[in-house]
Amino acid sequence: MQKTSSRLLALLSLLQTRRGWSGEDLAERLDITPRTVRRDIDRLRELGYPITAFKGPAGGYRLDAGGHLPPLLFDDGQAVALQTAATGTTIAEDAARALTMIHQVMPSRLRHRIDMLRITAVHPPENGDAPQLDTQVFTDLSTAIHAREELRFDYPQDRNAANGQQRRRVQPHHLVTWRGRWYLLAWDLDRDDWRTFRVDRIHPRTPTGPRFTPRELPGGDVPAFITSRFRGSGGTTTDWPCQGEVVLDLPAAAVVPFTQDGIVEELGPDRCRLALGSWSWTGLAATIGRFDADVEVIGPPELNDAFAHLATRYANAARTTTPS
């Protein structure tokens, strides 16, 4: 039997992987008795973890949200920073897994703040000189996007910040990443056009402006719009002869590090949209199939046919037996 400390960590890890566990399932997974499970649950509660027992044929336990983050000791700023690190950075996959684990025990106040921070990862970073960003700026921009409030901020007149600041008034639409840099996509009220702004150069002003009704983005597609604006700064998915789009049941941050030429848009905590290209439809389907997640094909039909072709090939391979 594992030592108590190791067993408690294993128990906590299991509780964080799904909504509820029966006592018998936990005992079987940990190779302990149901009585030991009950004692370990009590120990975790003493450490501050909000574990609730629920009734049923065998009874069970679930890890609920609490009033703090026991015993991780994350403050609000660190939690926001983890959310930004979970998209489009070299530590994205680890950050995403960590954020998923702590999300369910966040207090509702902080969980709501994190959920407002929805970011589209358009391309993975390719350099290590990305500027340091203020998490408070992310929070301010995300809050304005979520509340649909106009923003006022100071912004350099050109790439040389020493040349003075301009006051900008915008209707914020989305936060995106492109090659390791963060941008705000917004409708510029003074220029009557869509603009992108480097987040590290934005100096928000308070208070925010009035609420607005969001405009329709040209094409209605954030990754495609951003790609068209930055085309010429490097290869994109549009360089490939076969291009398709799918929805994956994975966090965007778990997909970004493995799609060098792809565009990833976050659709929710556990879903993302992937636009990707390849030299062949079969190769594209195989590349997408490496992700351990359910796949919903958006298009085109050639990609559906490629998945069907691979499904038949894999089914035949599964039935093949190798002589001993």
Cα angle, residue 170 at apex, residues 168 and 171 outer, rounded to 5°: 170
Residue 200 lies in a domain: yes
Return the higher-pLDDT residue of 319 and 109.
319
Is pLDDT above 70 for 98?
Answer: no
Tens digits of per-residue pLDDT, 141-182? 888 888 899 999 999 876 555 556 788 999 999 887 766 567
Q: What's the pLDDT at 235?
A: 42
Residue 129 lies in a domain: yes
Whether residue 308 sits in one domain with residue 241: yes
**Percentage of the chain lying above the pLDDT 90 cut:** 13
> Which of 157, 189, 218 finishes a domain?
218
Torsion of CA 263, 198, 117, 47, to 10 degrees: 110
Residue 223 lies in a domain: no
Q: What's the pLDDT at 323?
A: 58
Question: How many residues are given for the chain?
Answer: 324
Give Cα 39 to chain centroid, integer Å: 36
Residue 120 lies in a domain: no
Residue 230 lies in a domain: no
| Structural domain total, the chain | 4
| CATH number of the domain within which 248 lies | 3.30.70
- Asked whether the beta carbons of 192 and 208 are under 8 A apart, the reply is no
Residue 10 lies in a domain: yes
CA–CA dist 100, 251 (Å, integer): 9
Domain housing 23:
4-63
Residue 23 lies in a domain: yes
Whether residue 94 sits in one domain with residue 40: no
Residue 192 lies in a domain: yes
Tens digits of per-residue pLDDT, 4-54? 666 777 787 777 766 678 888 888 888 888 888 888 888 888 877 888 887
